[in-house]
Structure 1
Amino acid sequence: MKLNRQLSGIAGEYYVAAELSRRGYLAAITLRNSDGVDILVSNIDGDKLFSIQVKTTQNKRKWILSKKVEVEYSEKKYYVFVNIPADINLPPEYVILHSEILANHIYAGHRKWLSEPGRNGKVRNDSNVRQFDPRYFEPNELLNWDELIAKIN
């Protein structure tokens, strides 16, 4: 089942909030127009706080980003990339990483792409579009849910 973009994004945020809640954290989804933070997360005691930016796609493991990802990072910000499979009976896939690791990779990767010749040897034009593909990251840079929880504790 293919969802429209808005429903896909909402579903991704709720999937992430549910995973955090299952692990004993309070996960508050922000208003739809909150730029840069989709979920505010706290432990029950309120002394461990961090933020999550969720990016959702359907049936693929690549996500389109804007260039602002290169500068919008902080010590307590993580990205969770959600892939919702076409088969509604399958669970979503998650790719989790720290915002600074993502920013550094996207910055370096985009500059490398710009420096290489495009089709027919032409110089590539810069744009605001970036792409996240987990295949280009080291395994230790990508987190699972338990590793995320360990980092924030």
Structure 2
Amino acid sequence: MKLKKENLSMAGEYAAASEICRRDFYAQVTLGHRKKTDILVYNPDSGKEVRIEVKTKQGKEWPGIKGINDRQALLIFVDFENKRDTERPIFTS
């Protein structure tokens, strides 16, 4: 089933946050339509915080990506192409 763009973006952000939490970091998804940070991540062991921007696709093409100009931020790609509802997406950073 092809998701609407808004739902696809949210699915990618929550999937990435879930994967980050599985690695024992604290991940908080931010809400809104015009934001530069999709997920705030906190490492309780080091006390460091990182901002993450998520790009998600379900077809062959990645959405327009302008890059990020911040050394404290990361970009995560979430690929739902050819995935069933029961399958996890592919993550790339």
User: What range describes the TM-score normalised by the shorter chain of this pair?
Assistant: 0.7 to 0.9
C-alpha separation in 1, matches of 2:46 and 2:7:
30
Quote the residue 2:77 is aligned against: 81
Question: How much is the aligned-residue C-alpha RMSD, in angstroms?
Answer: 1.8
Separation (CA, whole Å) in 2 of partners of 1:26 and 1:37 = 15
Contact 1:20-1:26 within 8 A present in 2 as well: yes
The alignment status of 1:2 with 2:5, answered yes or no, reads no
Q: Per-residue displacement from partner, 1:48-74 (whole Å, max 9, x unpaired)? A: 1101000111032x312254x3xx421
In structure 2, what residue type is equivalent to 1:75? R
Structure 1 distance, partners of 2:9, 2:41, is 18
Given the alignment of the two structures, is residue 63 of structure 1 paired with residue 62 of structure 2, yes or no? Answer: yes
Task: Tell me the residue number matched to 2:37.
Answer: 37
The structure with more radius of gyration: 1
Percent identical pairs in the alignment equals: 35
State how far apart, in whole Å, the 2-side matches of 1:86 and 1:3 are: 12
Q: Which residue of 2 aligns with 1:94?
A: 91
**Secondary structure in structure 2 of the residue aligned to 1:65:** coil
Provide the TM-score with structure 2 as the length reference: 0.85
| Corresponding residue number in structure 2 for 1:17 | 17
Tell me the alpha carbon deviations over residues 76-113 of structure 1, each in whole angstroms, 9 at most, x when there is no partner.
111001111333133201120xxxxxxxxxxxxxxxxx
Give the TM-score normalised by structure 1: 0.54
Contact 2:83-2:89 within 8 A present in 1 as well:
no
Answer whether contact 2:56 2:63 (CA < 8 A) is retained. no
Superposed displacement of residue 34, structure 1: 4.7
Aligned residues: 92
Q: Is the 8 A contact 1:85 1:91 kept in 2?
A: no
